[in-house]
Amino acid sequence: MLKIGIVGCGAIGTILAKSIDKNPKAQIVALNDIDETKPENLKNTLLASSPKITTLDQLTDASDLIIECAHKNAVKKIATTALNKKKDILIMSVSALIENPQLFELAKKNNTKIHIPSGAIAGIDALKAGLQNNIKSVTLTTTKPKETLSHAPYIKENKISIEKIKKKTTIFEGNVIEATKGFPENINISATLALAGIGPKKTKVKIIADPESKINIHELKITGDFGEITTTTKNTPCPGNPKTSYLAPLSAIAKIKDIIENTNIGT
Ligand SMILES: NC(=O)c1ccc[n+]([C@@H]2O[C@H](COP(=O)([O-])OP(=O)(O)OC[C@H]3O[C@@H](n4cnc5c(N)ncnc54)[C@H](O)[C@@H]3O)[C@@H](O)[C@H]2O)c1
């Protein structure tokens, strides 16, 4: 029985908890959130698990696997605590790993694992395969409903009036370091691509604000010695958080099943 602790009981945390609750080989033992009402409400919806609502330290001690689905700014503390206590961690706020590469060193030193689900995009498997012999370019073009971008630091710093955008508009072009700084809650997928592929400096990102769209669209183009790949993922928003695509928690559920079953299908 895998004992799991969840940090962050919002849209993703709720979907993951409800799925894990149905798996007889896993048990949610602890929940943590800065908003006290969230874990309490989530606990009340679970049928098989009866998790304790705890501090981060207590949650880490009680769990075999820690799931982070909280916030970019919380990752350093959550992951350092988990890895120092020699516990594996699954990270959703992947943007934070671009600024904290030392966490991978810490995982290696402590013989622990950092799990990163693919998120709401197709193509990570092929990117990893292509990387074995020369990837030339990785370009992500993300189109989002304009209102989901309005709180991003890049929008505020550049005084972009999102409400005045009347047609599809490219609002950002740059690399993953710049993208994850400017849009920490919107473009985690670019961090996952960078970590799986040619790194945050070389992985290119374009963000388009669309006043008509209700979905997140990720278009990925990879070129290399293997040839060329293009993928398009049209994502339904997640219940509870329109910034998050539903495929993101679904990819985490698939990853957690692999961890529980000790399987690893795909590259
Ligand atoms: N990897 C991906 O592909 C992907 C996709 C979508 C979202 N995300 C990221 O996953 C995270 C969760 O997304 P969500 O849609 O569930 O967000 P959400 O806002 O619905 O939920 C986040 C929850 O975390 C809590 N929280 C915030 N800071 C915390 C802290 N320091 N300690 C404990 N709890 C804290 C909040 O109170 C909230 O309940 C976000 O960082 C988001 O950017 C990743």
Summarised one tens digit per residue, pLDDT across range 83-107 is 999 999 999 999 999 999 999 999 9
Q: What is the pLDDT of residue 239?
A: 87
Q: Do 139 and 176 reside in the same domain of the chain? A: yes
Q: Do 18 and 32 reside in the same domain of the chain? A: yes
267 in any annotated domain: no
Q: From the CB of 68, is ligand 1 less than 6 Å away?
A: no
As a whole number, mean pLDDT of residues 249-255 equals 97
Ligand 1, atom 3: nearest CA belongs to which residue? 119
Q: Is the pLDDT of residue 74 over 90?
A: yes
Q: From the CB of 198, is ligand 1 less than 6 Å away?
A: no
Pick the closest to residue 58 from 37, 39, 38 (CA basis). 39
Provide the number of structural domains found in the chain.
2
Domain containing 26 — which CATH number?
A: 3.40.50.720
DSSP notation for 138-159: EEEEEEEEGGGGTT-HHHHHTT
Question: What is the three-class DSSP state of 227?
Answer: strand
* Exposure on the CB side of residue 7, measured as CA atoms within 13 A: 29
92, 116, 148, 187, best to mutate for ligand 1 pocket (most atoms within 8 Å of CB): 92
CB atoms closer than 10 angstroms to residue 222: 25
Question: In terms of residue numbers, what domain contains 94?
Answer: 2-119+247-261
Q: How far apart are CA 67 and CA 16, in angstroms?
A: 9
Q: Do 128 and 80 reside in the same domain of the chain? A: no
Ligand 1, atom 37: nearest CA belongs to which residue? 35
CA angle 193, 149, 201 (to 5 degrees): 30
- Which residue has better confidence, 239 or 191? 191
Residue 156: CB partners within 8 Å, gap ≥ 6?
none
Q: Do 134 and 227 reside in the same domain of the chain? A: yes
Q: What is the pLDDT of residue 38?
A: 98
Q: Which is the closest atom of ligand 1 to the Cα of 121?
A: 3
Q: In 82-129, which ranges are E strands?
A: 88-91, 114-115
178 in any annotated domain: yes
Q: From the CB of 7, is ligand 1 less than 6 Å away?
A: yes
Beta-bridge mates of residue 205: 140, 174
Q: Is the pLDDT of residue 205 over 90?
A: yes
pLDDT tens digits, one per residue of 125-183: 999 999 999 999 999 999 999 999 999 999 999 999 999 999 999 999 999 999 999 99
- Residues marked active site are found at 218
Pick the closest to residue 209 from 260, 242, 168 (CA basis). 168
CA angle 262, 263, 266 (to 5 degrees): 150
66 in any annotated domain: yes
Q: Do 155 and 103 reside in the same domain of the chain? A: no
Q: Do 152 and 183 reside in the same domain of the chain? A: yes
Q: From the CB of 8, is ligand 1 less than 6 Å away?
A: yes
Mean pLDDT for the chain overall:
97
As a whole number, mean pLDDT of residues 14-33 equals 97
Q: Is the pLDDT of residue 240 over 90?
A: no
Domain containing 222 — which CATH number?
A: 3.30.360.10
Phi, psi of 198, deg, nearest 5: -100, 15
Residue 108: CB partners within 8 Å, gap ≥ 6?
none
As a whole number, mean pLDDT of residues 21-33 equals 97
Q: Do 172 and 83 reside in the same domain of the chain? A: no
Q: What is the pLDDT of residue 70?
A: 98
Q: Do 130 and 100 reside in the same domain of the chain? A: no
Q: Do 26 and 74 reside in the same domain of the chain? A: yes
Ligand 1, atom 7: nearest CA belongs to which residue? 244
Q: From the CB of 93, is ligand 1 less than 6 Å away?
A: yes
As a whole number, mean pLDDT of residues 223-234 equals 97
Asked whether the whole model's pTM tops 0.85, one would answer: yes
Q: Which is the closest atom of ligand 1 to the Cα of 8?
A: 24
**Band of pLDDT at residue 243, cut at 50, 70 and 90:** confident
